[in-house]
A = this chain, B = another copy of it.
Amino acid sequence: MKTYLKRIVSALITLCVVFACQEAKAKSNAKVEQWKMYELTYPLKVTGNPFEEVELSATFYHTGDTVKVKGFYDGNGIFKVRFMPGITGEWTYQTSSNVKKLNNKKGSFECYPAGKDNHGPVEVDSLKFAYSDGTYYIPIGTTCYAWVHQPEELKRQTLETLKDGYFNKIRMCVFPKSYDWNHNEPEYYPFESTAGNWDFSRFNPEYFKNIEKSIIALDSLGIEADIIVFHPYDRWGFSSLGLPVRDKYMQYLISRLGAFKNVWWSMANEYDFMNAYNEDDWKHHLEFFAENDPYNHLRSIHNGVKMYDHNDKNVTHVSIQAPDTRNGWNITNRYHKPVIYDECRYEGNIPWSWGTLSGEEMVEKFWDGFLSGAFVGHGEVLLERNDILPWESDEILWWSKGGKMKGKSHERIKFLKQILEEAPADLAPAKSLTGWQNYPILSSGEDFYLLYFGRDIHCQKVLELPKDKKYKVELIDTWNMDITPLDGTFSGQSLIKIPQNPYMALRIISVK
């Protein structure tokens, strides 16, 4: 009976909608680079609610692939279909719509090979990550939750900071953020409003244009956008949306943003702090992206205090809030998925303990995590004023608003990043070179080792190196960013003299 009623309502709507069509001819280019966004644009004036009443999709054909994607309304009488071709060569397409003028539009374009810095979207590659072209991707992320909702000048400054190559991933929220030090209003809101009430049936395209502009800017810097779909830091009502609104919202994100290669879907920040949604909701959100995102972008869900059940097949990788980054390999093996400590506490000096790491500690958590086979993300909350309470202050902190970094960790993280990028691609957690003492260690077979001592102080260390190979040993002072080769070569049981500083590492490379 319900289904019957629904059908009648649906038929009536279709009949009643008055389409004042201007023209419905796609504006598009005849060529697109592999993994870049190809866009079909159809102007079409609609007097009803274009978000609700117009259905538009397109199917893209290649001899090796067929991809169906949904279009979206972009405001100002413009409908769009976005597509990211993963295969080079000739593609054709054909649209489908409940509006005749948008239906059955056809065309073709050429997809030419990716340029030098374009490796395609990031995918899970066993227990690590790789770009679609097979290039190894090591996520070294940071966190600027609400940077896209700040004034233009601040956004520009954030991108300027990011240009320096510290990070290749950023966590950022779709919805604006309400929290300590975050009391300013965003320039736009995600939904239209009438008489002070949100009209959840109408998205505000300007709001999403701002976000996609930011995503494109990040892509040009080689930075993955880890898009946080839902979050609890809210004073507007965006953290307790009904299921149909959420479904439309998620589809809108997929349609608008999915064709950008550097997009990841993070279902939530601190999902367990969102009282309006339960476990089934989160299962559904993950399933929705898994089923509707034609590109299968990475999907994760970040916890407050209760980890989500990462056995869920729709979770591609573990995005965790937890301080003990040395535990990385255990979690990796528990779920057989790569693990990113997206939040292991932040470098900062704020009154809340999640943001009170010294630079030393932040860097230590990076080395601990990476050398334990996991990945770690950065955040910074360094206050300059100590005389204003958090809920009365609007100080700009990198972790949420972006801007400039003031901390000591990011330079050292970049140093680690370079060391990891120079290392063999097949690095994996290795058997201890120090007997029962389990320091974090990665190796590439018996040819390359990276070993980290954390805070432990040594004047000497006994290593059990393979006996049938010779090695050169380099001392890495991870805090002072200093690499010192030791004299001679080493083999078998070796006494290594170490300067008595904390945060020392060893790089051990086999030589002929």
Contact B460 A497 (CB under 8 A): no
Residues of B within 8 A of A457 (CB): 348-349, 356-358
Known: A389-B495, A495-B387. A458 touches B358 (CB 8 A): no
Q: Tell me the minimal C-beta distance from A397 to chain B in angstroms.
A: 12
Cβ-defined contact, B356 with A386, below 8 A? no
List A448-479 residues whose CB lies under 8 Å from chain B: 453, 455-462
Are B349 and A462 interface neighbours, CB within 8 A? no
Asked whether A460 and B351 contact (CB < 8 A) given A358-B455, A358-B502, A455-B361, the answer is: yes
A497 contacts across to B, CB distance below 8 A = 386-387
The yes or no answer to A353 lying at the interface (CB within 8 A) is yes
Residues of B within 8 A of A502 (CB): 358
The answer to whether the Cβ of A352 comes within 8 Å of any Cβ in the partner chain is yes
CB of B349 within 8 A of CB of A459, answer yes
Find the B residue at minimum CB distance from A435.
B352
Contact of A456 among B356, B437, B453 (CB under 8 A): B356
Report if A350 contacts B (CB, 8 A).
yes
Contact B495 A458 (CB under 8 A): no
A453 CA to B356 CA in the complex, in Å?
Answer: 10
Measured CB to CB, the closest approach of chain B to A455, in angstroms, equals 6
Cβ contact of A462, chosen from B389, B434, B500, cutoff 8 A = B389
Cα distance, A323 to B494, chains bound together (Å): 28
A437 touching B358 by the CB < 8 A rule?
A: no
Nearest-neighbor residue (CB-CB) of A358 within chain B: B457
Query: Which one of B352, B361, B383, B458 lies within 8 Å of A356 (CB-CB)?
Result: B458
Which of B353, B462, B500 is in CB contact (< 8 Å) with A437? B353
Q: A390 an interface residue at 8 Å Cβ cutoff?
A: yes
Interface size class of A (residues with CB under 8 A): 20 to 34
Q: In the complex, which of the residues A455, A458, A497 has the most CB atoms of chain B within 10 Å of its own CB atom?
A: A458
* A458 to B357 alpha-carbon distance, docked (Å): 9
From B349, B358, B455, B461, give the contact of A351 (CB < 8 A): B461
Q: How far is the CB of A399 from chain B (nearest CB, A)?
A: 15
B residues in contact with A460, CB < 8 Å: 349-351, 383, 386-387
A461 contact set on B, CB distance < 8 A: 351
Name the B residues within 8 Å of A500 (CB-CB).
349
Residues of B within 8 A of A439 (CB): 353
Q: Give, as a whole number of angstroms, the nearest-CB distance from A144 to chain B.
A: 21
Residues of B within 8 A of A350 (CB): 458-460
Contact B458 A349 (CB under 8 A): yes
- Chain B residues whose CB sits within 8 angstroms of the CB of A458 once the complex forms: 349-351, 356
**Bound CA span A320–B512, Å:** 48
A349 to chain B, nearest CB (A): 4
Assembly CA distance A60 to B453 (angstroms): 59
Collect the chain B residues with CB atoms within 8 Å of residue A456's CB: 353, 356-357
Minimum Cβ distance to chain B for residue A364 (Å): 10
Interface core residue of A348, A351, A498 (most chain B CB under 10 Å): A351
Other than the known A348-B457, A358-B457, A383-B460, what 12 A-B pairs have Cβ atoms closer than 8 Å? A349-B457, A349-B460, A350-B458, A351-B434, A351-B460, A351-B461, A353-B439, A356-B453, A356-B456, A386-B497, A386-B498, A390-B462
Residue contacts A-B, CB under 8 angstroms, 26 given: A348-B457, A349-B458, A349-B459, A349-B460, A349-B500, A350-B459, A351-B434, A351-B458, A351-B462, A352-B437, A353-B437, A353-B439, A356-B453, A356-B457, A356-B458, A357-B455, A357-B456, A357-B457, A358-B455, A358-B457, A383-B459, A383-B460, A386-B460, A387-B497, A389-B462, A390-B462
